[in-house]
Every structure is written in structure tokens, then in C-alpha cells.
Chain A
Amino acid sequence: MTYSSATRDRFRLLVSALTGLGAAGALVGTAAAAGVAAREHDEQQVDSTSADTTQSRAQLREQRQAQRRYERDLAAYEAAVAARAEPGETGESGAGRASTDAAARRVVLRQRPTATRTTTVHVTAAAEAGPSQVTASGAAAGAAGQGTQTSTAQTGSQSQTSTQTGSQTQTGSQSGSTPATPAPSAAPPPPPASPTPPPPPPTTSAS
């Protein structure tokens, strides 16, 4: 199926697919729908600080609920169109044609609510022997169960930046009357960054 850049229904098949104790395969339908959100994650940036100051939590929740309702309606429409695929055209190609038709005949049910969220990330300078740590800024959303959101990402590779504080200049002339000023030696290159220590194993425990 091809979609517009509008937000997909992450839980389109959730209601019908999930039974909790079913086999892992029961989640496949949900996965197909839920995973499309990954294709859009690059377009979203979250500014928790500004969002909290300009919109209340209740408004944000209502916005998310409205978005989910829209996605469900859209998914139901597309499912209905796909179900009207011509007889005999079963299988992938049939489904594909039905999907294409669905996309062509799409009716916008209502204006999709949009949200632009900006993430501000403060990067602290690495210590002499330690890796860099990246922590997300912003106050906690305050929702139940959500405390201060701090994410620590330890990447497997580190970018190395080096700055040469010294400058290489050579003054002087060939005349000999003015002795050539020896070029100041360049600042020694910074030591290579220490390898990022591996994180401890993930833990299963009561919490």
C-alpha cells in the first residue's frame, strides 16, 4: 500500500489482532500497521518544554486521541476499498491494485491535525577519560508514570573532533636581513577518544 505523508494508523489492526496471550503471530497484523510510524519518525521532533508551556497535557492527549480516531477511520475506509477488489484478483497483485485504487480515490475525511515537536538535546563535553553523554532537556510531561525523561544513548562509535589551537605561520624573507621566524610548533593532536565502555547487560527484575 502506498500512503501519503499523513500519519499512519499505528494501531489499525490492534483491536482485532491482539488477544494478549495469543501466539507471537497474533501481533504480526499489528506490527504491519504499527511499524509504519517508523517511516515518519524522522519528520517529528519533540519540544517537551515548549509543548508544556503552550499546550496543556489535556490538550495534547485530546490531540493524540483525535489523531488515533482519524487513523482508524482512514484504515477502515482503505480496508473497505481493498475488500471491493475485483473477483479473481486475489493475492498480492490484486491487493496491490486495490490499494492503488484506494490511494487514488482517497477522500480526506478531515484535516489531519499536525504537530511539530522539537527536541532540544544538550550535549555535555566528554570528560578526559569518559565518553560523551547525551541527555534530553525539557521538563517532565507530568503524566502519570512519567518522570523526568532522560535518555542516555551510548553509541558504538564516537566522532572525533580535534581543534588545533596553534597556527602554523612562517614569516621571514629570503633577504637574510630578517631572520626567519621559526614556525611555532603545532599543538599536539588530542589523544584518541577512549572507547565507549559497553553498557551492562539488560536486567529482568521486579520494578
Chain B
Amino acid sequence: MSTLLQRPLAAATQPAPVMAGAAASWRALGTTVEVRTERPDEIECATTLLGQVLTDVADVASRFDPDSDLSRVNAAAGHWVEVDPLLVSAVRVALDAAAATDGLVHPLLGRPMIELGYDADLTQVRRRGELTPLPHAPAPAPAVDAWEDVALREDAVRIPAGTALDLGATAKAWCTDLALAAFRAAGLHRALVSAGGDLRTHGPGAWTVRVAERPGDAAEAGRTQLVDATGALATSSVLERRWRAAGTERHHLLDPRTGQPLTGPWRTATVAAPTTVLANVAATQALVLGHDALAHLHATGLAARLVDHDGRVTAVNGWPTTPLTDPSPDGDPHA
């Protein structure tokens, strides 16, 4: 495994090799999840395990479900709330991410998100459009270090008064890692799990993966890249989860320092890492860091692919730069 991790990415062979096995995909956690197994007889087991993980996490950590433990915690901010220990684990993952990024990947952006209009499933928000109710006087964003005041017990959580948890930055990636752990314990052979584009491989050998900014880009020639990957890949982008409210186009990636949608130089970041949580946190952090992202990524040693608002791609730490076979009309192979 360590040998594989030393070289988690490589240029994909062209054309993409035929992949045997089985695949299943469905909607969960407000996104598309997918599982693939090399052995067709393992797809049912893998689907069951992944489905169970997603169900359990959605039960406790969905911000849009008023009955979830997370919603109860948010409704009683400032007080201890008894919850399922699964939520405690999920919050601990989010707090670890905040600690590792000095608060730039922040678990307490629930209130700013709601005040920007993202208070329900994105499909509903988009359908509502300009009818989205917004507060006249939005509350200030929580302090960048407010996450340090989140307290955890084995079966209880307390968040600072006036704040609200939002685990969107880590929950999906965490589900992927949990599923992989279950696959390992179940003795499954080669498999791959993707939750909303945060994917991770299981077992020896690389998988050919398409790197895109948005799901719809997958079939669009010249806008994607094929890589052979082992471990985890995660993509964060300001392009996908967008909505309009009060005449303004908004997206879901907030700057914890301002509580407003990011306006940095990068629109998309894809990072390769040993775990999906690591990859997703690094990708989100890169977008928040903006101009400082390259230096930070160089320091971490994680391979990454950043795309700016003009579509120019910057590869970091050995990210493959294979020219695409289908260049875009303007001749830029990476646009």
C-alpha cells in the first residue's frame, strides 16, 4: 500500500482500458453515489454496505432533516444535546479538519449558509429561485476559531450559541472512507466508491478515473482528464452548487473569514490523498486559500489540479499533465 501511495496518480493509458466488473449508482445525501467492484458477485455486498453507511449518516447528520440529531443540535445551540455517537464521530472529523486548516474548513457555517438561501435541498432552493426568503440583517459569521468551542461527549454535542453545524465539507468524504473500511473488513476485492465525486479505491492496482469540474463535463471532450489513480480523489468547485437569491448568483463554498461565497482565483481544485476526507479537506482549503494555495499544496506534497476562472489548469506535486486527445476548440488542451 505504501508503494502505491508513493505514486497515487499516473497518466492514464489511452484509450481507457475496458473495465470488467459491476457498478451501481443511486441518489443519496443530495448527490449521486456510485460503487464499482471488480468482481460482479461482490456488487450486492458493496451496495448494501455503502447504502447502510449513507443511511446511517444521513439519519444523524442531515442539515435539511428537522428530525436529525444535527438539526436538534442546531436548534439548541449553546446547550448539550444527547445524540447518536455516530454524529459525535462525524463532528469530530469536522473539528479535526478545522484544526488542520486553522479554521479555513469550518464546521459552523450553517447559519451563514441559511442566510444566503441554502436552507433546504438544493433542488428546492433552485426551484424557489428569487422567492428565497433572506434575512434583512444577516448575523455575522462565526469567528474563525469558534469551532474550538464545540464540545463533545460520547453521546452529546454542544455548539456555541448562535451557531449552526454544517458538515457538508467532510460528511460525504467521510462516508466514502467508512464504506472502504467496511469493504476491507468484508474482504471485498478491488472496488471503488464515489459519493458526490469524492472517490476512493479499494484493493491493489489503479483505477482509471475521469477528472472533471462538474458531472456534466464527463462527456465533454477537451474539458476532462483521465488519470490512473489509487487512494482518494476529491474535487471542490464553485461551479456546481449554485443558486440565485436576491438577484445574486451564489455558491455553496463559503469563506469562513467573511461568511460569504469564495471569490478567489481558483474555481476548481482536485486533490489526491490517502483518504477521502484528507483529499476533500485539502481541495476545499485550496479554494479558500486562493493565491496562497500553491505554496500550501507544495508544502503538503499532495498532488493537485487547480483550475482558474479562465479555465487554465495548474498541476501541483506531480499531477499528470498528459495532453488530452480531444483539445478544446481554442487549442488549450487543458481548458
A24-B274, A156-B21 as given contacts; A38 in contact with B49, CB under 8 Å: yes
| Complex contact B180–A27 (CB within 8 A) | yes
Stretch with Cβ within 8 A of B (4 or more), from A98-106, A139-147, A181-189: A139-147
Residues of A contacting B: mostly: loop
**B211-227 vs A: 1/0 string, CB under 8 Å?**
11111011100001010
A33 and B185 contacting across the interface, CB-CB below 8 Å: yes
| A180 at interface by CB-CB < 8 Å | no
Q: Which of A79-87, A167-175, A199-207 contacts B (4 or more CB under 8 A)?
A: A199-207
Interface size (B, Cβ < 8 Å)? 99
A202 and B56 alpha carbons, distance in the complex (Å): 24
The residue in chain B whose Cβ has the minimal distance to the Cβ of A11 is: B86
Known: A28-B181, A201-B16, A205-B235. A19 touches B30 (CB 8 A): no
Task: Evaluate contact between B85 and A72: CB separation under 8 angstroms.
Answer: yes
Name the residue on B nearest A18 (C-beta): B89
Chain B contact residues: helix, strand, loop or mixed: mixed
Best-surrounded residue of A36, A58, A151 (most CB of chain B within 10 A):
A151
0/1 string, A23-50, CB within 8 A of B gives 1 = 1100110111111111101001000000
Task: Report how many A-B pairs have Cβ atoms within 8 Å.
Answer: 241
A90 within 8 A of B: no
Contact, CB under 8 Å: B93 / A18:
yes
Q: How far is the CB of B70 from chain A (nearest CB, A)?
A: 10
- State A194–B68 Cα separation when bound (angstroms): 47
In the complex the two chains form, is B49's CB within 8 Å of A204's CB? no
Known: A21-B93, A21-B277, A156-B20. A144 touches B30 (CB 8 A): yes
Q: Which of A60-68, A108-116, A122-130 contacts B (4 or more CB under 8 A)?
A: A60-68
B132 at the interface (CB under 8 A from A): no
A143 contacts B65, CB within 8 Å? yes
User: Quick check: is B255 within 8 A (CB to CB) of the other chain?
Assistant: no
Known: A15-B85, A35-B182. 8 other contacts (CB 8 A): A20-B92, A27-B181, A31-B184, A35-B184, A38-B48, A145-B29, A149-B27, A206-B197
Subset of 11 A-B contacts with CB under 8 Å? A18-B93, A20-B93, A20-B97, A27-B178, A28-B184, A34-B53, A35-B49, A144-B65, A202-B34, A206-B214, A207-B197
A-side residues, CB < 8 A to B, are 10-11, 14-15, 18-24, 27-28, 30-39, 41, 44, 57-58, 61, 64-65, 68, 72, 143-157, 198-207
